Amino acid sequence: MATPLEGVRVLELTRVAPGTYATMMLADMGAEVIRIETPPEPGKIAAPGISPGKKDLRQAVFNHTNRNKQSIALNMKAAEGQRVFQEMAKNADVVVEGFRPGVMKRLGGDYETISKLNPRVIYCSMSGYGPSGPYKDLAGHDINYLSFGGVLNLIGEADRPPSVPLNIVADYASATMHTVIGILLALMARDRTGRGQEVDVSYMDGVIALLAATPNFPPFFRDGKQAQRGLNALGGAYPYYGVFECQDGKYITLGCMEPHFWERTCKALGREDLASIHFVPQHFVDPPDAKSLEVAEWLRGVFKTKPRDEWFDFFLPHDICIGKVYALDEVFQDPQVRHREMYLEVEHPTVGKVPMVGVPIKLSDTPGRIKSLGPYLGEHTEGILSGLGYDAQAIANLKQQGVVV
């Protein structure tokens, strides 16, 4: 069965997970993804994000974001390494790089250089703040992009400093998803124009765009009203939307934003008189009043009277928005997770059965699939070079010069 991106060749030059996850998504949907990785230097620790060597095969195989990919170890600081990359780029559909602005130019692989060799190439650059502007050279990670983008200030409790979340928002929801979308849009445009183009993805830009899509944001541009950390409808301040500790020390989530869901919650608990304390749009920016705080405190006491799983079973017949707060070992035992094939076991000829997270986008006619597990560093170097026309002696010479591994 064909996959959506079959025949699309992607060259990946990324060292951090948001980039590798983006190319994994493309690979899951059938793209041929080749990771171009830096050979280890004698006496030095491998650079972050580089695949383990063959002796660490098990570690490589369990690298979730490298599945369905090939690996070539190529020293692009060497002139011959740059020539190899340029030969590869001539037949590539997509190049994805995640270095700071200017690095790829020094390595002879920037968009200006590659587009002259291959006018149809889609060249995607992922950077923290973009290739221009006062912050273009500023180092950063998820927490920094969240702080500049206005998101971090909204996470946590009202009387405490902002909470540090997992690096899901800026790294993955922002950078990864916008990268994949940008590449797919550029491929669609190329179908009409015949030309490739540059795709510029900034982690910070994406964070701001995501925040603007939330209900907390419109009142700011419209009325100048700002949501306050921990004191809004989506911050856990109101009784109908929050996290509650149960008798066994585990937690359950309630997400009854719609008044009818909250009404059913109150009815199930025998407190229909509280149904009027429901969500209204002002709650996106307004802090809770005394009555809302009182109901929230009452609800916290109620949830402590039963274990988490008993509460879930209790509310299940009432059709409300309820969920268990899982630890990782619970996630992959959940019947819905199993039913949706988000837990899979893939057979590896040496390592055996390897657990993998499934493909989240379900396509009825052209589904994605896991064809291979993560490669070790340079696993496909010889095959890739042979495909470029290098004979055995030429490959041996490149290895001797330290250009490839």
Q: What are phi and psi of 186, to 5 degrees?
A: -65, -35
Q: Do 114 and 194 have their domain in common?
A: yes
The per-residue b/e assignment along 141-162, b for 16 or more CB within 10 angstroms, e otherwise, is ebebbbbbbbbbebebeeeeeb
Q: What is the pTM of this model?
A: 0.96
Sequential pLDDT tens for the chain (405 residues): 789 999 999 999 999 999 999 999 999 999 999 999 999 887 677 778 899 999 999 999 999 999 999 999 999 999 999 999 999 999 999 999 999 999 999 999 999 999 999 999 999 999 999 999 999 999 999 999 999 999 999 999 999 999 999 999 999 999 999 999 999 999 999 999 999 999 999 999 999 999 999 999 999 999 999 999 999 999 999 999 999 999 999 999 999 999 999 999 999 999 999 999 999 999 999 999 999 999 999 999 999 999 999 999 999 999 999 999 999 999 999 999 999 999 999 999 999 999 999 999 999 999 999 999 999 999 999 999 999 999 999 999 999 999 999
Sheet with 241-245, side-by-side order of all strands: 241-245, 251-255, 322-324
Question: How many domains does the chain divide into?
Answer: 2
Q: Do 133 and 269 have their domain in common?
A: no
Catalytic residue among 141, 289, 309, 318: 141
Instruction: State the residue range of the domain holding 178.
Output: 9-210+338-400
Last residue in a domain, options 265, 296, 324: 324
Q: Do 77 and 204 have their domain in common?
A: yes
- Contact at 8 Å (CB) between 13 and 104? yes
Residue 4 resides in a domain:
no
Q: In this structure, what CATH number is given to the domain that contains residue 18?
A: 3.40.50.10540
Residue 233 resides in a domain:
no
Q: Do 302 and 358 have their domain in common?
A: no
Q: Do 70 and 107 have their domain in common?
A: yes
- Contact at 8 Å (CB) between 151 and 213? no
Task: Let me know if 141 is a catalytic residue.
Answer: yes
* pLDDT value of position 46: 72
Q: What is the tens place of the pLDDT at every residue in 59-73?
A: 999 999 999 999 999
Q: Do 305 and 278 have their domain in common?
A: yes
Residue 61 resides in a domain:
yes
d(CA 164, CA 97): 27
Residue 185 resides in a domain:
yes
Residue 228 resides in a domain:
no
Q: Do 172 and 70 have their domain in common?
A: yes
d(CA 405, CA 399): 6
Catalytic residue among 28, 110, 142, 171: 171
Residue 284 resides in a domain:
yes
- The DSSP output letter for 380 is T
Task: Let me know if 380 is a catalytic residue.
Answer: no
Q: Do 309 and 349 have their domain in common?
A: no
First to last CA, the chain: 34
Task: Give the contacts of 29 (CB within 8 A, at least 6 positions apart).
Answer: 3, 4, 5, 361, 366, 368
Task: Give the contacts of 188 (CB within 8 A, at least 6 positions apart).
Answer: none
**Total residues found in the chain within this entry:** 405
* pLDDT value of position 41: 81
Q: Do 157 and 296 have their domain in common?
A: no
Q: Between the CA atoms of 356, 376, 106 and 33, what dihedral angle is there, to the nearest 10 degrees?
A: -50
Q: Do 101 and 139 have their domain in common?
A: yes
Residue 224 resides in a domain:
no
- Contact at 8 Å (CB) between 190 and 161? no
**Shortest CA distance to 233 belongs to which of 207, 199, 262?**
262
* pLDDT value of position 138: 97
d(CA 121, CA 109): 12
Count of CB atoms situated within 10 Å of the CB of 301: 9
Q: Do 351 and 290 have their domain in common?
A: no
Q: Do 309 and 342 have their domain in common?
A: no
Last residue in a domain, options 324, 359, 382: 324
Last residue in a domain, options 261, 292, 324: 324
Residue 302 resides in a domain:
yes
